[in-house]
Chain A
């Protein structure tokens, strides 16, 4: 199913070479090179999923699709994974060799997908008009939306609490919603004016969650997501796109934002600092007169093997930092937009 072009692969991606000789995790990237692409034109780039090789190259995996924005693995078998894309939710059982679009015509534009680690047959997906739930590894889907609003349930992100089966957060247009019974019932735990863009659980403290939003900046919760506080020092005027915890350092958190670039905290979210020196500045023509001074960071991620910080700068390149954003270097993937960095523990294979 894959149409491989080698535009991405010719260069050694120096910034992606693992720091340690034997990394404990595999890095999967979901992204695409969509610059100058419009629907209807011929695709001349490789997009979709990439797996980092030990040499630091990115090996295309699966189908060529620049619209993939989400990726989630079955914790029992990393050959089983799901993508969220324009066509819906896709699934592979064989590591990307074959695929199935699991959703139908009435579920479109999947924005996120997650697997319950305590009930791995249970899969949740965020879509443009709500949340869909599967209890059979995405073979069938149901709209279990009791408690979600009739309108305002555009959902950008879903995230499962790893400590309890069926405890799931949904980031919707009008707030953060929580289910504790596998989507049978939802309730709003924090209302927002506009979209909740990402929700993540700390790998160090399962009670600590961070959410990012369109108009509320970043939100912090220290009680397992029952209550949320606006993070001081994070601007709220423009969208914060995502949050990443550093698995190697409980105090380190990074935010990615189109407007503000990379924001980091090294004290567990108490204070925040912009770390954009070395990233490309605003380019004339892209945001001229629209969003001057923006850094167009689409996504940040942190390598669990070494704390390396990754930033996807929209249609520029992937950048990495080994000092948590104080300096940056270009790491290839020219012209790309990366929607997901996912590290999978090798032992899980």
Chain B
């Protein structure tokens, strides 16, 4: 939601005017760049490409643009003009964390270039204009990083020179304390707003700035280590440059066109293994400004690009902060990602993890060129509730549904939406099997389950066994609805230019929605590589032969043996019983566990591994230790 409509419109226009070599060019070859020097050259070339692109869009007479000023300062182009433009820009400053961090970039990049008058204009903006802190963790990461850096840049100044009314030292101390608190949470009980398709930028960019511009070496180190942590997580959860699995927050576009996300920009800039989204995701511009000061270490690069075996990665994350309607401030999120060369399956245990934009589980398949492809299959309960949102928002229940729709979440109150989590969904996953069960309370706004069937599926077959078979890329898929259903178009959401607020239209791109209008419900999905079977018919036969029983009353329950031979009984409201043993998430889940990322709960230490390479990020000692085993 945090893109303004104007920004998106400008980006769309810009995209059509100036070629973006990587965004519209060929898909990068799936080759691992072996040499460090070459990786560095290619990385810097990607930064240059983005900066060149944006600066090439500037025409004589264009109004002053903050981002253009920053890019020129980064390139050290015409500081005198930049100074004049800064003064003009600061005549009408913006508000809040989304405004603050780009202005920090102006201040930092302009330290030795801007005139005293231009610097004073920036500084004065932080005196007279109130900045909202916002109400989410990404807001606070941007807000406090910005306040920290500005307070460090202007030390020893009294409270009446800051909008907070607090001195530089007070601002600095508060910002530092919060940032460390957030890092502590993320490295002990998991990141909130986990695996975000867009909001990764709201964390990565502040951490890049912190690691680049903080004067305190310890905070610089913290920024660098968090950036490593974020990108290691991104690498382990991406397949061929596209982020997979569940998301605390995504959006109506990225949830179905998985490539079309800011996360893809970060895969492109770091790993060079995918075309970036149009306009470098918008936020890429802010990253370019300091990107040369950071590069992912080889071990993270190889996790993203150099994999030859299937793996399961389990990660502990956490919900957004719950103010009410909950017995806990945070709930743990037990996330699973099963990654293969042809597809990925990801999930968490279900429940209402974030108020609006959560994506709980899916199977996503690999395609040669992911642009425009809806390479995903999943189901959900389209939960919409003002009272539900009270868990996370400090507001009255009645206006919240419309408020969410108004604030850039257009699908929130649509019964056919394909985005969002629900308190009435419980999910179990083992490798490439997912069982999602639904027991929707009577009176809930939408008593139905939506199954997403992509326009890019082939061979979709409704089998008399009750399974629906389909193929996505080189992946065979079997989807078993546990209650009756009908088909309807799954209309996508397209944003239209708007001068204020947001404007949307619905577009039929050929996707279909399985609408199962039953409160007690469920979905089983099985995936497999086409290479594992003689042909599609053989896969179907294997699925039909699976031992499977289920019932929906009094609560949905499934007993089955998966394609991989795991025996499971999943019952709504109970711990899944896997191979005869109840699954105890709390007892078994580590902060990170898999072949590449490992960390103990509460440990503040992440071990990143690939082959002989190892990097340990230890927040207890604020050290980064590299080792070749």
* A-to-B contact residues, CB < 8 Å: 1-3, 36, 38-43, 63-65, 67, 86-87, 90-91, 98-101, 104-106, 108-109, 111, 128-129, 151-152, 154, 173, 194-195, 197, 214, 238-239, 241, 258-259, 286-287, 289-291, 294, 296, 314
Contact = CB atoms under 8 A, between A and B. Distances in A.
B275 interface: no
B398 interface: yes
Nearest to B92: A42
B397 interface: yes
A41 B4 contact: yes
Given A39-B97, A42-B95, A101-B164, A239 B134 contact: no
Given A38-B408, A214-B397, A86 B132 contact: yes
Contact of B98 (A40, A173, A194): A40
A197 B396 contact: yes
Contacts, number: 125
Given A38-B501, A101-B166, A287 B402 contact: yes
A40, A67, A238 — which one has the most chain B CB atoms within 10 A of its CB? A40
B100 to A, nearest CB: 10
Nearest to A289: B413
A291 B398 contact: yes
Contacts of A40: 2-4, 94, 96-99
14 contacts: A36-B406, A38-B407, A39-B2, A39-B97, A42-B92, A42-B94, A86-B134, A100-B166, A105-B140, A129-B329, A154-B324, A173-B325, A239-B397, A289-B413
Interface stretch (B174-182, B208-216, B348-356, B575-583): B174-182
B327 A296 contact: no
Contacts of B324: 152, 154, 173, 195
3 smallest beta-carbon distances between A and B, as pairs: A100-B165, A40-B98, A105-B178
Nearest to B159: A100
A241 B399 CA distance: 12
A105 B174 contact: yes
Nearest to A110: B394
B135 interface: yes
B165 A86 contact: no
A314 B402 CA distance: 12
Contact of A105 (B165, B181, B325): B181
B323 A101 contact: no
B411 to A, nearest CB: 14
Contacts of A296: 398-399
B398 A104 contact: no
Nearest to A173: B324
A306 to B, nearest CB: 29
Nearest to A156: B394
Contacts of B502: 38
Contacts of B531: none
B160, B178, B399 — which one has the most chain A CB atoms within 10 A of its CB? B399
A261 to B, nearest CB: 12
A239 B398 contact: yes
A268 to B, nearest CB: 27
Nearest to B3: A40
B266 interface: no
Interface residues on B, range: 35 or more
B4 A128 contact: no
B398 A238 contact: yes
A38 B133 contact: no
A104 B407 contact: no
Contact of B134 (A39, A104, A106, A194): A39
A69 B140 CA distance: 20
A108 B133 contact: yes
A38 B130 contact: no
A289 B386 CA distance: 13
Contact of B326 (A39, A105, A108, A151): A151
Interface string B303-326: 000000000000000000001111
B328 A38 contact: no
B399 A39 contact: no
Contacts of B453: none
B129 A3 contact: yes
B417 interface: no
A105 B144 contact: yes
B402 A64 contact: no
A314 B390 CA distance: 19
A290 B408 contact: no
A152 B618 CA distance: 36
A241 B323 contact: no
B139 interface: yes
Contacts of B159: 100
B128 interface: yes
A314 B329 CA distance: 31
B139 A105 contact: no
A106 B396 CA distance: 22
A195 B325 CA distance: 10
B401 interface: yes
B165 A65 contact: no
A183 to B, nearest CB: 20
A180 to B, nearest CB: 26
B588 interface: no
Nearest to A101: B164
Nearest to A151: B327
Given A2-B128, A109-B135, A129-B323, 7 more contacts: A1-B163, A3-B128, A36-B501, A39-B95, A40-B99, A86-B133, A290-B402
B1 interface: yes
B328 A151 contact: yes
Given A287-B402, A290-B402, A65 B396 contact: no
B211 to A, nearest CB: 21
B500 interface: yes
Nearest to B128: A1
A43 B135 contact: no
Contact of A290 (B92, B326, B401): B401
B394 A154 contact: yes
B145 to A, nearest CB: 13
Contact of B394 (A87, A106, A111): A111
Contacts of B181: 105-106
B144, B163, B177, B396 — which one has the most chain A CB atoms within 10 A of its CB? B396
Contacts of A65: 130, 132
